[in-house]
Each structure stands twice: as C-alpha cells, then as structure tokens.
Amino acid sequence: MPEHFTAALAVETLAAGANLVYILLLIRERIACWAFGIVGSLLSVWLFVDTRLYSEALLYFFYAVMGVWGWLRWRRREAAHDNPVVIWRAHAHLAALAMVSGAAVLLGYVAQTYSDAERPVFDAFTTCFSFFATYLEIAKVLEAWVYWFALNLASIWLYHDRSLDIYAALIGVYSVLSIWGFFSWLHSYRAQQSA
C-alpha cells in the first residue's frame, strides 16, 4: 500500500472520528463540541486539498474558524444563561436561500473557470449552503438540522465520487443524526417555551 494512501486514510479516519464526536455533542448542546469540530475540520482541510475538492477544503477551514466563534459565543451566552434554540420565520429562510444560491453560482463559476476542481458547481452549492447551515448551528436555529439533512444526502455522492468512502459513510450517519438533532433541539425549544 503506498505511503501517501496510508497517510490519507489515517487522516480521513481521525478527521471522521473527531467530526462524529462533534455532531454527537452538538446534538446534546454541549460546548465541548466545538473543540472536536475544530480538530476534525483542520484535518479535513488537508484531506480535501489532497483530493482536489478545493471548495470542500475552504468549507472545512471555515468550519474551523466558525468553531472558534461558536465556542466563544456559546460559552458567553451560557454564562449569561441565554443560549436558547430559536426558530426563524419563512421570509428569513427565503431571503437566505436566494442569497446563498447566488453565492454558490458565483463560487461554482470561479472554481470551474480558474481551477482544476472536481465537480465545481455541485461542490460550490454544498459548500455555500454548509456555510449558511453552520451559522444557523452557532445561532442555535432549529432549522439548521433540516438544511444539514439535505446537505448530507447530497454530500454522500460527492465524497463517494472522490473515493472518500469513510467520509461518505460518515455523512450517511450524519443524515440520520440530523433527524435526531432536529427532534432533540425541538424538545429543547418546547421546554424553553413552556418555562
């Protein structure tokens, strides 16, 4: 087995493990989730550059940076006992969908025109919508889980196409966990409303 393949497999396995712990702790609304998310994201950056999924590498770098913000925000808001799950109105989602779709078209065009990226348009859409869903996670918007469910289903094919089978399997698990996350946060939201 070539040395590069072994290193890539080791990085993929470590990143997948850290990212899985992240999502499990996120569902349970534990602030420690952000530490695992940062580590898993930084390992993923290397992996996606290596497989020429540059938008995904950019996405995971963004996850690492947002992980720091998420950690700081959740810590500050939990100290103030003010870190509730919230629900957005439909018009906010429609405006966000239009803006994120426009950004995805632009990113896809740039990646297709100026790089050797694989699947640049598809990759750009999953990347831009993941940026948005990450923001929703940090803000504890319930509907983040709905976006993640759709993104995870789309990403399974992308990762499998690039022979990232561990990631494809992980994202399949994420799809199921997104349903659990939605109902767990919905339970928290309802408990907050009745309190």
Alpha helix (H) ranges present in the chain?
A: 3-27, 33-50, 54-79, 90-114, 120-138, 144-161, 165-194
Task: Return the minimum-mean-pLDDT range out of 12-26, 47-61, 83-97, 139-153.
Answer: 47-61
The CA distances from residue 96 to 33, 64, 123, 131, 138, in Å, are 26, 22, 19, 11, 16
88, pLDDT greater than 80: yes
**What's the pLDDT score for residue 5?**
64
Residue 96 sits in which domain range? Answer: 3-194
162, pLDDT greater than 80: no
Tens of pLDDT, residues 3-53:
656 777 888 889 989 999 999 999 999 999 999 999 999 999 988 888 777
Cα gap 47→3, rounded to integer Å: 15
**What's the pLDDT score for residue 160?**
83
What is the mean pLDDT of the segment spanning 115-139?
88
**What's the pLDDT score for residue 112?**
87
Buried b (16+ CB within 10 A) or exposed e, 48-59: beebebbbbbbb
pLDDT range class, residue 103, cuts 50, 70, 90:
very high
Which residues on adjacent β-strands are paired with residue 86?
141
Whether 8 and 30 have beta carbons less than 8 Å apart is answered as no
Whether 48 and 63 have beta carbons less than 8 Å apart is answered as no
Helix (H) / strand (E) containing 82: none
With the C-alpha atoms ordered 58, 60, 65, 69, is the resulting torsion angle positive or negative? positive
Cα gap 152→23, rounded to integer Å: 13
Q: For the chain, what is the domain count?
A: 1
**What's the pLDDT score for residue 190?**
96
Mean pLDDT (the chain) is 90
Enter the pTM of the model: 0.85
